[in-house]
Every structure is written in structure tokens, then in C-alpha cells.
Structure 1
Amino acid sequence: MHHISEAVFVRMCEIVGTSQQVAIRREAEDIMDMVDSRVAPNDEFIEMLSGSHREGFRLEGSDIDLMFWPNNHRVIMDMSQSVYYNTANTTLILSDSSESPPGFTLLQLLTPTRYRDVQLSCVRMNDRVYISSSIQRQLTCSIVIPNSTVHGPCGSGDVGGLEYDTAHCFVCDFWPLSVSSWIDRCHSWPDPEVVDDIVRNGCHFVAIGHPLGPHEHEEWRISFSQAEYKLVSSMNHCQFLTYGLLKHFLKQVMNQQSEETNKLLCSYHMKTTIFWAIQQNTLPHWCPQNLLAGFWVCFKLLLKWVYEGVCPNFFIPQNNMFLTKVHGSAQNRLFLQLHELYKKGLACLLQSSSIRSYIIDVLYNPRLSICTDESIIRSEVDYDVELVKESCKIRVPVCSTDLCGLTKAILTMEQLLESPLTQYQVTIIQKLIASFFRIAAFEFHDMYTNTGCNKQIYNADKMSCHMLKLAAKFGCISDMLYIAMYYYKTLRYREALSVIEMTKVKLAQPYVMYRKRVDRERYTEAVGGQSWSTKIRQAVAQDIELDHEICYISELIPEQQSALQNSGYTYIPVFVLLHFLEFLCYRHIDTTLSQAALDELQVLVHHDQGLYILKLFRDISWEILGICQQITGNLQAALYSYQQSLTQYPFHRIQTATHRRIQDVVLH
């Protein structure tokens, strides 16, 4: 049994990740939350990744869960808590759960709000103003990503094959009184400091009522998403892998039994199961040799709940999460199916396609030696790839784009660097500092260009160049292209080309890591064992992100304006931007070399098989090719490129600009 457990442990490390990989994922998001809370202006929305991605999973097919809340709105549990807030700049909301089922509440608006969607969501009951969850849900469903549909409390949809859920909610800095008994229950798990941290950070309220409650359309559900994340983070790696195994088993086995039952259980039930199993101390030692014993404890608990028709919420046990779904004939059917799996014992895991072969290998080779040492399972390069992947996802936090806001953000980053951070978090902070410096450099230039004062323009230019060079020191190889963009913008074409040439040489090195792709041997030879800041500067390339509100390349202004309705950034594959800039600069110096750069860009866009151009970035890549062709007067080719851009997944929402460009070509 121990050998099989160890084999499954190794397989789950391959599927879910080792403890170090999971730590990289979590720490990247932790530092983002810390930065967000410190630099976000009072009137902005805070964004937080939640769900399985936040917990450290990167399972194929799992969706992305995002929570958003207005920074200047706060929920309080009783009127005495209002003294902690300045009502001149904070909207206060009172939680009133007196008439609601456990885990749900009404939200009474106490002070005026400037947010139109909150104003429109207000309903009057018993001479009080409440925020209706159902109206709020409809109004905010498509704010983050257009054309989303309502799914539970979220706006739901699909971006290039990746499913997402976005939940607009309200935050509360206090732990609900109705959940105080949970604190008393935490004797064995989690540790007191984790409990304190959870209670200190309060909770959220998401826009959905209890279907059997008296005010279903007005009620809000208490969300413990942040608390759950802290609980999952406090698990040891074997417990976390057991949770991963439950999720896997749900998807590959339990939900494959029949059409009638495949929507009854979800991964939240699996999470609840492992929480209770750990807290009830049913298994004294969670270790690789006991992985399957832990899984079996959880499976038996789930089977018991299905039999009884009661799945108690971990924080509010009176809230039965099976109440509206797992009952009657569906409940009986689900119990019988799970009982059939139970009768097979741990052999039921053989029905999981992902781990079957690992179990069989051990059964046929009982003397097989299995190494559960994570340093053997994963190498240094694996961790570097993980960190690059996570740092690519890092969003620049919403801070004021004026120089005052940017200065505050940079100072905040410097303060954070002086606090105790892991090496991964230092990397993320450095990446953010580089982003702030780049934004500030272009803002600084635009601010002083129109002053007419030569000395001011000269000093601003000097400062912008200095900031961009600093940003390149913190960043990776491709970050040098921001300097080239700045030189192009300020008509210094030869200097821009010199930077482009230098970048080309560095990108051509055989050990360069680009996205997940890397020649492991050469990478290890070149930078193995060196500091991460050295690795990222010498051996890592990433795609280029352009803030929609900043003009980097005047030829792309229509696309940036068109894309403003989408996220705050346009993402351009590094080699597409490199050839684009080269083409633009050489047009002023040497038309032959300009045409050569365009030819390279054309070959890249026409023939790339996902190696250098991510599928989601093909819309902007075809667009850029079309712009270059239109500039040279090759209108037929430009028309074809623009039409190709329109057939790609509209990730950047540049269609308005593309249609205008097509019109220009046709009318020429």
C-alpha cells in the first residue's frame, strides 16, 4: 500500500506540482495583493485571483476565478464599527442577517455611493435602502469582460478556450459574528496564527441569495474565499496533493457515472471534505506513504454526506450545501454510484486515466523503488520556467498614471523590497518596478514635450532615458525594446536600431527561455546556479505589454484606442515588435533594409505555428503586418492581413481599428 501511495504522490507532483512550484504560484499572487492594497487609489476597484488558480493549482481545463470590489465601499457588521471609517470618502454598508438563512445576509446602504451600478441596484424595504444582489449581478456581469453571462454570483464566459468567472462583490474588514463558533472549533487545525490572520482579514459578500430564503433576489452570500485560500496554504504538501487527487477523481471518475448525477458534486465539495477531514484529525500523519489513506478518509466522509443529504459548510455548518441539489431520486442515484466505487476499495482509482498506469506499474513490480524527493522530481530549470510563467501573468496594479501616483507606487515597491520577502517575491517586485519606470518614462516625455521650453524638454528626455535603462536592468532581454520604442518616438532612428541589433543578438542565444520553451542543457550551462536576477536579464525573453493610455508608437494609436474597451494592455509578441520597429526605423534610413525587416515579419506571421506568436496574440500580429504593408503601398497584401486579423480570436478587441484601416485601403 505504501509503495502505491508513493507512486500516486509522485504522479500528483507531476500533475499538480511540487511544493516549490506551488509556492512560486502562491507567492506571486500574494505579493500582487500586497501591492494592490498599498497603491490602489481610493476610488478604484481591487482585483483578486481566487479559486483553484489562487490556491496553486494549474489543472488543465480549470477556470479562472476573479473577484472585484470597490476600494471605497466597506461592509460593517454593526453600527459601532462605523467609527473606523471616514464617511467623506467611504461608502458604508450594513450587513443585516436577522431574516436570512445561515451564510446569507441583506446589505443595507447607509451612506451615499457614487457608483452608478450600486445606485441602480438599490431597492426599498421597510423604509430602508438595500442593495439587490440580483440587480447588481445583471448590471456588473459584463463589466470586466464584455458578453459574459450570469453564472451563480459571477459573470462567466470563455476567452480563447480559457473559461472564467468574475464576481463583483463587497469587502468587509470584520469577521462575521455568526461565524465566531468556527474560531472555537479550531483546536487541532489550523494553527492559532492562521486563525488570527483569517479573522483579521474579514470576508466578502457575493451577489447571490439563498434559493429558499425569504429575500432570494436581495440577499448576498458571505464568501470565505480569502479564508479558504489561507487554509489551503496552511496544508502540508501531501494534504494539498490529496485535495488535488479528490478534484481529479471527481472529474475523471465520479462525474463520469451518469448524466443525471454529473452536475451534483463540484470541486467546492471536495475542498470542504478535505477541510473537515484534516480538522477532525482522522489521519494523524499526512505523508507520501499515507496519501491514499488520506484520500480514502475523504471519500468515506463524502459518501456519508451524500447518504445523509447534508454537506456542512466548513465555516457555517448549519449551511447545508446539498440542500437544493442533492436530494430525492438524484441523491439516491448518486449514493448508489459512489457506493459501487466504495465497494471496489482503492481499486476505484484505476478508473482515473491520469494515475492508472502508475498504480499498475507498482502492482506488477512490487519491489520497484520510488523516490519521493522533490529535488529529483523537478529540476532547477523547471522552477525557472514556473517563475517565468507566473511573472508573465503579473498585472500592473491600478495606480494613478499621473507622475504623483507613479512616484508613490515606485516608493511603495522600494519599501516592500526592504521587508522580508522570498526570492520569488523579490522577482515580482522588480518586474513591477520596471513596469512603473517604463510608464513613468513615457508619461514624463509626453508631459514636457508640449511645454516649448527646451531646457525642460532636454531634462525630461534625460530622465525618461535614465528610467528606461533602469527598467531594462530590472527586466529581461526583451525589455530593451522599450528603449528602442522611446528612441523611435523621439526620432532617434539610428540609436533605436542600435538597441534593436543588441536585442537581436541576445535573443539569438540558444539558451534563451521564451514562454515555456527552453533548451534545458544550454540554459543550465549558461546560467545554471546563478541568481534569478542574472538569469532573467541574460536568458529570459517575454512578450511586450503596452498600456492603452500611453502612446509608444504613433502607428498603433488606432489599435490602442479601439482596445480601450478591453483590458488595460495590448500584448505584442516580442519578435513581431522587433521586426515592426526595425521596419519603421529603417524607413527613414535605408529602404532596402526596411523591406528586409518587413519580409522577415511577413514570414513570421504567415508561417508561425505557435512557436513565437501565441494564438491569442495573432489578431494584433496580423494587424501590425497589415500596417507595414499599407505604409509601403502594398494595399492588396495589407487588405489580406487586415482580413486575417479579423478572423483571429478577438483577444485585443481591435476590430474597430481594423475595419477603419480596411476602409482606408479600399477607398485609396
Structure 2
Amino acid sequence: MCQNIVGTENHVKSIRLMNAVRDRMKSTKRDIVITSGSFGEGLDMSGSDLDLMFVTAKDIEVYENDEDIKTDNNSSDVILSMETDDVKAGFAQLLVKHVKHTNPQNPCKYFEELNGKHYLSSALYKQYQLANTCSNSVIHGPCISDKEGMYDKAKCLHCRTWTSQASQWITRSNSSWPSYNVKQSIIKHGVLFVPIGVKGSPKEDIEWRISFSVGEKFLINTFTHTQLICYALLKILLKHVIATCIECENLLCSYFLKTIIFWISEELPQSIWKPENLIHCFMRCFSRLIYSVDYSVCLHYFIPENNLFENKIEGRAREILLGKLYTLHSYGWRCILFSDQISNIHVSMWMNHIEPHTLHTIELAKPVNSKLLYLAIEVSDSFEEDAIVYKRGIHQIVSYHQSSPKYMCTYYLSKLCGQYAQYVQLNSSRNNNKQQYKQYKSCLCTLLQNIYHDSVSGWLMLASFFYKAKQYSNALHIIAYSISKCTPEKVCLMDMSGSHFRFFDLQLSKKTSIVQLWKIMFIDSLKFAINSQLIPNELQMEIENGIHYISSIVYAYFLKMLCHYHLNNVIGCQDCLQTFQLVLAEKFLIENNRPLYSGAYNILGIALQLLGDNESARQAFMRSVDIYPNNEYNTAIKRLSFIGLM
């Protein structure tokens, strides 16, 4: 059962490897990207969001001691010094010590004056980050989040030296965990600062929380698989059982659970954390949680002076929570069966042996069905950033010696190339024939690197390139090949069924890597960027308000019809249209996603309108609006108004 929850040890290692490769590719000299939270630690949990930290590596530097500050030849725009007097343990105020006034971004807009001194305001810093993100974003604690709660992005500051507030941690533990080398790696990294103050503090807006996220990642990576399963089970118990009670909903968080496991891991020898001791270890962690709530004490692992439960778990809410915890504890390890996520898995799997091939199938299936993994692999929408990441990706593929990170890097680079190629100006009036030919070859070479992340979408982007170049015969050959790949056993995003599991059992060898699996089975949607040079002119309206996604099978038949249309092949157009309508009726390889399904009917309406059947087009547009009535993103609403004017 536990293998279904967190996956095998190899699965966890694969998730961590993906994160490491992707973070390294996306990091720049200005910002270092760190995938954090449970997913960053290798746990792909149901219902979790994606946590990303962007560490400012160049613009702002933080020092704890003034004597460490050197303004000469310093490339940073702002230099800050920590102030911890009259601030709760685990927090600091960041005093402005030096500002480079040549910075056109004007960092002074983040400053707040207090008693004649200037401090970097955590509140203003977050407001600025919010103003520079999409309209779908909100402030959530120290993070900028989307309204659907799918991701949290935190812009952080870095202090390269270890903070004195956590100095006792260096020598506190006499046990073998964490090891000396792990401790040194954590200390060497230093600490981060995230923009949030102590709730209710009179100086809350200029306080920053000291974050040990990177150090905590190091610690989690040293966990045995049993430790990781205990952590995952506690998180499931919290999210799906404890937090379902309205009075208990916001009292506990997963960070408290992580802290408890850190303390217990320091107390117990690593030899205890074995599969045969899983139930004993889990119940010990659960008992410690009850003890912490009972005494309203959960000490921060690195800074014990900071009681995480202070002013949080108290009064009647605490009594209700404590009663619920005691009731659950009375059931022993079976308390986790109150979670739907657990109870759906047969309880005999706790003790029974699982066939290795079945474990391998589960291991391969989890990433294909992973919402978090799909979110994480989305690349930047900035041409300048894409160009930098593209060059770094090429360098990393060459520099990696092991095959696993090399394949992973190739996968991400393939995803990136599909976006990068869309910004190449193919038909600019400023270019002479030689320049146009050079850009044509460059775009073509880039798109040929875009075929390694799934079965179909990369080829279709290449077909779109030939269509834009009016090479319709070449486009049709590639479209025919792409459609031949659209077979029933293929998988769309998070749309796996029992037949796909059976296909794994029948077709895939135990040596199949996750990247190879995606290439064999996965069908991604096409992602067209704003001002894309590769989207057909007939779909230009779709990218006016942002990025646009189209189901691969839908785009294949639409592009095929367009090619026949420009070749004046009436019969070809009619055949494509009929097959297109059949695909829609059967929902064949169309993701269970309202915007994508609505977009399919919108594209059908465009095809019908192009062929002169305005009444059928009207019906298709109306069906699109019924499925997804969004004025901002569904252009079917606008197209209906155009038909009404005819």
C-alpha cells in the first residue's frame, strides 16, 4: 500500500533527480530556482500544490554582521544587515546599509523608514512581486499563488553565512543523524529570508522569516524510505482526516509534522527506521504530535527558542483538536484508514508481498498521472529567459556523465525548444534572403529537438512550421505520421485508465526509464505562446490574451484540413472535417479538461466557418461557450458576435 502512496525508493529518487535537473537549468545568475515543499523533497502527494522558491542571487545581499560587509567592488544593488533585537526568534528585520543608485529598477520602492532608519519591507516586496505576475495571482503567506491553489512562488533573499540564532544546532546532536558531512553542507549554504513577519507584530511589515528550506531538503534526502513513508502518512492523516473538521482546519500544517519527525530522527538511531518497524515508527511520530498539542509546544528544529505553536494552538480549538487526535490514536495504525486515499487501497497490501513487476508498473504510472510534475515541467514564457536556459541545457547534456540526468535534461530541453522556436521571426521585412534562410534553418533545427518529450506534439509543432512556410505537402506527411501515433493506448495528462496499466504490464520492460515512457506513451497538448510565429493565421485570435493550449489530436486534424484547404483539395477538407467531428463525438485522446474540450469545439467552428458553413459553425461556437463560458480566454464568444454581423 505504501508504494502506492509515495512510490518506490526509485520513484522518489527520480522525482528528486527531475527537480535537480530542472532547477539547475532554470536558474540564472540573477535568480536561483529551488523546487521546495513535499514535491521538492520527492513526495508526489495527491492534492498538493507546487512550491517554488526564487532566490535573489545578485540584486540583494544579506549579511548578519556589519564587519562582513564589503561595499567595494560589490556587484549587488542593495546590501542589507540583519537586526534581531526586539524580534521574535526565527525572524529578522533587514536594515538597508548600501544602495547602488544606478539601478534603473529603483529598489527604494521596497524601503520603509522607521526611527530614521530604512528597512526592506516584506509587505512592499510581496506587493511588487504580485504586480508583476498574472491577474490570476494572490498573496498567500510569503508566497504569490494562483487562485486555483495549484502553485506557490516565493521570492527569497539569501545570506551566505549561517545565522547565529541557529548556532547551537551545529553542536547539539550527538547522534549519528544528521551526519557531519550533511551538517557541513547545510551550514555552507547559509539561510534564506522569506517575506513574512510575525502575525500581529507592530513591525510585521518589515519583518522577514528566516527559512531553512534548503537545509530541510538536505535532511529529508537523508531519510530512509520508512522515515519518508511516516512523514507522508502523517501528512495524509492531517489533510484528509484531521483538517476535515472545521474547528481543526487551520490549526496544524505539514511543517509542524516535518519538525516533529526531525526531532525524533535526531533521537532515534537510523537502524530503527526499517520497513518492519514502520507501524511502530509511525505511531511514535503520531504520539509525539499529540504530546506537542497537549502541551502547546512544537520547537523549531534549528531555532528551539521559536515555539511554532505559540499563539496558534490554544483555547477551545485546541481542546477539539486534542480530542480528535486521541480518538484517532485509539485506533492504532488503522486510524489512517479514515482517509479515502488510503481506504481505497486494499489493507492486505500492508503486510503482503507485492510482485516486483507490479511495483515497477506503479513506479512508471505515478509520474504520468502527476499534476505536480506537469506543472513543474512548464517552461518560461520569456524569450530572453528561454534563450539562456536553452544554452544552459545544451551545456548540461554535454557535461552530464550519467545517463539518467542526461535523459532528463534532454526531456526538459525538448519541452523548451517548442517554446523557443515560436519566437524566431521567419518572415520579417527587415531581413534579407540570407538572414531569412538562416532563421529558417535555426527554427527548423530547434523544432527537430522538440520531438523527444512525447509521442506527438513535437512533430505537430514541426508540421505547423512547414504550414507557415507554405510547404503543405511536407506538413501533411508529418501530420499523417503524428496521427498514426495517436493510438488508444496513449495517455493524455492525468487521464490514465486500467487499459494503460495493462499496457504497461504487457509492453514495458523493467529497464524502461520515465523519460522513455513519456516518449512512448504520452501525448502532450500543444502550447502556443503569445505572439507565436508558428500558430496558423486562422488561430491568431487565440493568442491575443495569453498562452493557448490545443489538444494534439484536435490540432492534427485541423492543420490537416488547413493544408488541404490551401491546396484546393475539397474532398480532403471534407474527409478531415468528418474525422474531426468523429474524434470530438468520441472524445478520443482529448483530455478531461473543460478549456481544452471547449477549445476543440471552437476550432471545429473555425474550420466550418472557413468552409462556408456558418450555421454549423455557430452551433460549434455555442457548444464551446456552453462548456467553458469564459469571456477572457474563450474566443468562441467573440467569433459568435462576428457571425451575427454577417
2:152 equivalent in structure 1: 165
Q: Normalization by structure 1: what TM-score?
A: 0.84
* Residue 337 of structure 1, CA deviation: 3.9
1:472 equivalent in structure 2: 451
* Residue 181 of structure 1, CA deviation: 2.0
SS at match of 2:485: helix
Q: Distance in 1 between matches of 2:630 and 2:589?
A: 16
Say if 2:203 is the partner of 1:224.
no
- Partner of residue 588 from structure 1, selected from 566, 590, 599: 566
Say if 2:84 is the partner of 1:97.
yes
1:558 equivalent in structure 2: 541
1:206, 1:220 within 8 Å by CA — same for their partners in 2? yes
Q: Distance in 2 between matches of 1:85 and 1:333?
A: 58
Q: Normalization by structure 2: what TM-score?
A: 0.86
Q: Distance in 2 between matches of 1:311 and 1:189?
A: 20
SS at match of 1:379: helix
Matched ranges for 1:570-581 at <5 A: 570-581=548-559
Q: Distance in 2 between matches of 1:542 and 1:662?
A: 29
Letter in 1 for 2:575: A
1:4 equivalent in structure 2: none
Say if 2:163 is the partner of 1:185.
no
Matched ranges for 1:118-517 at <5 A: 119-141=108-130, 143-159=132-148, 163-187=150-174, 188-211=176-199, 213-256=201-244, 259-281=246-268, 284-343=271-330, 345-346=332-333, 348-349=335-336, 351-355=338-342, 370-371=352-353, 375-380=356-361, 382-383=363-364, 386=367, 389=370, 392-395=374-377, 397-398=379-380, 401=383, 409-420=389-400, 423-439=403-419, 441-446=421-426, 449-451=428-430, 453-472=432-451, 476-508=455-487, 511-515=489-493, 516-517=495-496
Q: Distance in 1 between matches of 2:595 and 2:381?
A: 26
For structure 2, list consecutive stretches of 5 or more residues without a partner in the other structure: none
Relative to structure 1, the CA distance from residue 407 to residue 616 in structure 2 (aligned partners, 3 Å threshold; closer, same or farther) is closer
Structure with more contact order per residue of length (Cα contacts < 8 Å, sep ≥ 6): 1
2:526 equivalent in structure 1: 544
Relative to structure 1, the CA distance from residue 379 to residue 90 in structure 2 (aligned partners, 3 Å threshold; closer, same or farther) is same
1:20, 1:383 within 8 Å by CA — same for their partners in 2? no
Q: Distance in 2 between matches of 1:86 and 1:667?
A: 65
* Residue 663 of structure 1, CA deviation: 3.5
* Residue 433 of structure 1, CA deviation: 2.6
Q: Distance in 2 between matches of 1:339 and 1:157?
A: 36
1:12 equivalent in structure 2: 2
User: C-alpha offsets along residues 94-118 of structure 1, whole Å, 9 cap, x if unaligned?
Assistant: 3322331111111234325858696
Q: Is 479-488 or 498-507 further displaced after alignment?
A: 498-507
* Residue 491 of structure 1, CA deviation: 0.6
Q: Is 495-504 or 119-128 further displaced after alignment?
A: 119-128
Relative to structure 1, the CA distance from residue 194 to residue 340 in structure 2 (aligned partners, 3 Å threshold; closer, same or farther) is same
Q: Distance in 1 between matches of 2:603 and 2:437?
A: 31
* Residue 659 of structure 1, CA deviation: 4.9
Q: Distance in 2 between matches of 1:48 and 1:648?
A: 37
* Residue 360 of structure 1, CA deviation: 6.7
SS at match of 1:472: coil
SS at match of 2:544: helix
* Residue 33 of structure 1, CA deviation: 0.9
Q: Is 273-282 or 288-297 further displaced after alignment?
A: 273-282
1:6 equivalent in structure 2: none
* Residue 484 of structure 1, CA deviation: 0.4
User: C-alpha offsets along residues 364-398 of structure 1, whole Å, 9 cap, x if unaligned?
Assistant: xxxx962167x355125742662685764454654
* Residue 333 of structure 1, CA deviation: 4.1
2:415, 2:453 within 8 Å by CA — same for their partners in 1? no
For structure 1, list consecutive stretches of 5 or more residues without a partner in the other structure: 1-10, 363-367, 564-568
Say if 2:12 is the partner of 1:22.
yes
Count of equivalent residues: 635
1:47, 1:68 within 8 Å by CA — same for their partners in 2? yes
* Residue 219 of structure 1, CA deviation: 0.8
User: C-alpha offsets along residues 339-378 of structure 1, whole Å, 9 cap, x if unaligned?
Assistant: 444455445455445556879759xxxxx962167x3551
* Residue 238 of structure 1, CA deviation: 0.7
SS at match of 2:206: coil
1:32 equivalent in structure 2: 22
User: C-alpha offsets along residues 417-474 of structure 1, whole Å, 9 cap, x if unaligned?
Assistant: 244566543333112332444455454453x743453343334333433332343367
Q: Is 214-223 or 433-442 further displaced after alignment?
A: 433-442
* Residue 206 of structure 1, CA deviation: 2.0
* Residue 407 of structure 1, CA deviation: 6.3
2:62 equivalent in structure 1: 76
SS at match of 1:217: helix
Relative to structure 1, the CA distance from residue 329 to residue 434 in structure 2 (aligned partners, 3 Å threshold; closer, same or farther) is closer
User: C-alpha offsets along residues 192-251 of structure 1, whole Å, 9 cap, x if unaligned?
Assistant: 332233233333322221135451222111122222222222211110000111112223
2:578 equivalent in structure 1: 599
How large is the RMSD of aligned CA atoms in angstroms?
A: 3.6
Relative to structure 1, the CA distance from residue 273 to residue 142 in structure 2 (aligned partners, 3 Å threshold; closer, same or farther) is farther
1:24, 1:386 within 8 Å by CA — same for their partners in 2? no
Letter in 2 for 1:58: D
Say if 2:123 is the partner of 1:111.
no
Q: Is 64-73 or 282-291 further displaced after alignment?
A: 64-73
SS at match of 1:67: strand
Relative to structure 1, the CA distance from residue 474 to residue 527 in structure 2 (aligned partners, 3 Å threshold; closer, same or farther) is same
Q: Distance in 1 between matches of 2:399 and 2:136?
A: 42
User: C-alpha offsets along residues 586-606 of structure 1, whole Å, 9 cap, x if unaligned?
Assistant: 111212222332333344345
1:41, 1:400 within 8 Å by CA — same for their partners in 2? no
Q: Distance in 2 between matches of 1:98 and 1:648?
A: 57
SS at match of 1:562: coil
Q: Distance in 1 between matches of 2:600 and 2:445?
A: 30
SS at match of 1:124: strand
Relative to structure 1, the CA distance from residue 115 to residue 559 in structure 2 (aligned partners, 3 Å threshold; closer, same or farther) is farther
Letter in 2 for 1:425: P
2:365, 2:501 within 8 Å by CA — same for their partners in 1? no
* Residue 286 of structure 1, CA deviation: 0.8
User: C-alpha offsets along residues 307-352 of structure 1, whole Å, 9 cap, x if unaligned?
Assistant: 2211101111111111121123433443344344445544545544
Q: Distance in 2 between matches of 1:352 and 1:125?
A: 49
* Residue 17 of structure 1, CA deviation: 1.7
Q: Distance in 2 between matches of 1:20 and 1:558?
A: 45
Letter in 2 for 1:53: F
Relative to structure 1, the CA distance from residue 219 to residue 353 in structure 2 (aligned partners, 3 Å threshold; closer, same or farther) is same
User: C-alpha offsets along residues 471-511 of structure 1, whole Å, 9 cap, x if unaligned?
Assistant: 33676443111210110010111110011011112323x55
* Residue 278 of structure 1, CA deviation: 0.6
Q: Distance in 1 between matches of 2:388 and 2:430?
A: 24
User: C-alpha offsets along residues 559-590 of structure 1, whole Å, 9 cap, x if unaligned?
Assistant: 22311xxxxx4332111111121121111121
